[in-house]
Amino acid sequence: MKYILVTGGAGFIASHFIEHLLQFPKNFVVAVDNLSMCDEKNILKFTNNSNFVFHKVELTNQHELVQIFEQYKFTRVYHLAANSDISRSFTNPTIDYSNTFNTTWNILELLRIYDVKEFIFASTSAIFGEVGDHIIDESFGPILPISHYGAGKLASEAFISSFAYNYDIDSLIVRFPNVIGEYSTHGVIFDFINKLKDNPNELVVLGNGKQEKSYLYVKDLISAIEYAWKFKTDKIDIFNIGGIDTISVSEIAQIVVDNIGLGSQISYTGGDRGWKGDVPKFSYDIKKILGTKWTPKLNSREAVDLTVKSLIKEIW
Ligand SMILES: NC(=O)c1ccc[n+]([C@@H]2O[C@H](COP(=O)([O-])OP(=O)(O)OC[C@H]3O[C@@H](n4cnc5c(N)ncnc54)[C@H](O)[C@@H]3O)[C@@H](O)[C@H]2O)c1
């Protein structure tokens, strides 16, 4: 049996990942989460699976984590726990110090102490900050994040590098774009549907709606991570994962309004971004991941469309 730890295990992306991992009978998945950004509903479907167990764990508390590492001899750790609400830490930066950075530090320390040799880290395009029209590949620099979240992830990447080198830990850093799909716990589509549920007459969009990014369907992200692991060449390797195209926030707002079908008005608060720390536009060079023969099955519009339909069913 191969014991795999998934942190942030009750969250949106992790719950899809667990579903994928449990397809292989040799995998035993241990999910840990403090349930701060979600509840247990995303993992209820696994509770009857004898190859799955969930523990409520506060990852900033190393003693709680030690109990988990004492109980299972892990082969691999997927570290997905983090603060996922970027705007929230503007008023309280400690959120990203604790939940985005310190969770990584604690996990790395336990990989070292318990001799775990395979580590996959959920990083983000937010580490890059604002880069104008640059197309960002894996060697882009200097890296100057403009959100505490991006900074917490970048600091995590730095320590992953030193731990990989010093303790021989095979490490993969995957820098996600905007990831969407069923069971989302946050993000633009989730927010729009909840806003319209509160007030079906009007959808107030933060910014001018011209923010333009790539949106990747969660199942495409999971296959990209598996390809990246398979084709990883060094002790530590980094992949930028992105879709093949972009979509604007105003187009997403229109898709949501059309699907809800109540003829809601769309209005904009103005300004080029939703909040301080939001990066209105970015574009990845994804040649490296495409070189593994991975290709996303859905483009941004198809991913948005599918997510809107499923979240309306879940939330409305
Ligand atoms: N969704 C995206 O668009 C996106 C983009 C880039 C990177 N990421 C990264 O992917 C990972 C998963 O994101 P997601 O979208 O599924 O978010 P999510 O909020 O659904 O999942 C994160 C989970 O981590 C848990 N968590 C947070 N702090 C914790 C702590 N101190 N102890 C234990 N659990 C804790 C939360 O309760 C939550 O369930 C995160 O690391 C996120 O930064 C996501």
207-261 pLDDT, tens digit per residue, is 999 999 899 999 999 999 999 999 999 999 999 999 989 999 999 999 999 999 9
Q: CB of 184 closer than 6 A to ligand 1?
A: no
Rounded to the nearest whole angstrom, what is the distance from the C-alpha of residue 264 to the centroid of ligand 1?
31
Give the 3-state secondary structure of residue 3.
strand
In angstroms, the CA 120 to CA 236 distance is 10
pLDDT digits (tens, 9 = 90+) for 102-152: 999 999 999 999 999 999 999 999 999 999 889 999 999 999 999 999 999
60 CA closest ligand 1 atom index: 31
pLDDT beyond 90 at 67: yes
Q: CB of 18 closer than 6 A to ligand 1?
A: no
14 CA closest ligand 1 atom index: 16
Buried residues in 302-314 as b, exposed as e (16+ CB within 10 A): bbbbbbbebbbee
> Any idea which residue has 């603060």 for tokens?
83
Q: CB of 151 closer than 6 A to ligand 1?
A: no
Q: What is the pLDDT of residue 198?
A: 96
The mean pLDDT of 279-299, rounded to a whole number, is 93
Rounded to the nearest whole angstrom, what is the distance from the C-alpha of residue 85 to the centroid of ligand 1?
9
Q: Which two tokens stand for residue 35?
A: 């349930």
263 Ramachandran zone, left/alpha/beta (phi>0; psi -120 to 50): left
Q: CB of 38 closer than 6 A to ligand 1?
A: yes
| Window from 150-159, 267-276, 285-294 with minimum mean pLDDT | 267-276
Q: Which ranges constitute the DSSP H helices of the chain?
A: 12-21, 62-71, 94-95, 103-113, 148-167, 188-198, 218-231, 249-260, 287-290, 300-315
Q: What is the pLDDT of residue 260?
A: 95
CB 43 within 8 A of CB 49: no
Q: CB of 58 closer than 6 A to ligand 1?
A: yes
pLDDT digits (tens, 9 = 90+) for 161-211: 999 999 999 999 999 999 999 999 899 999 999 999 999 999 999 999 999
Q: What is the pLDDT of residue 187?
A: 93
Give the 3-state secondary structure of residue 79.
strand
pLDDT beyond 80 at 277: no
Q: What is the pLDDT of residue 292?
A: 97
Report the nearest-CA residue for atom 41 of ligand 1: 80
The mean pLDDT of 289-300, rounded to a whole number, is 97
The mean pLDDT of 32-55, rounded to a whole number, is 95
Q: CB of 103 closer than 6 A to ligand 1?
A: yes
Q: CB of 62 closer than 6 A to ligand 1?
A: no
Report the nearest-CA residue for atom 30 of ligand 1: 59
Parse the chain into domains and list their residue ranges. Answer: 2-179+215-240, 187-213+245-282+298-315
Average pLDDT, the chain: 95
**Residue to mutate (ligand 1; options 20, 80, 304; most atoms within 8 A of CB):** 80
Q: What is the pLDDT of residue 26?
A: 98
Rounded to the nearest whole angstrom, what is the distance from the C-alpha of residue 125 to the centroid of ligand 1?
14
**Residue to mutate (ligand 1; options 18, 19, 33, 84; most atoms within 8 A of CB):** 84
Q: What is the pLDDT of residue 283?
A: 86
Q: CB of 124 closer than 6 A to ligand 1?
A: yes
> What topology is assigned to 2-179+215-240 in CATH?
Rossmann fold (3.40.50)
Is the domain 187-213+245-282+298-315 a CATH 3.40.640.10 member? no
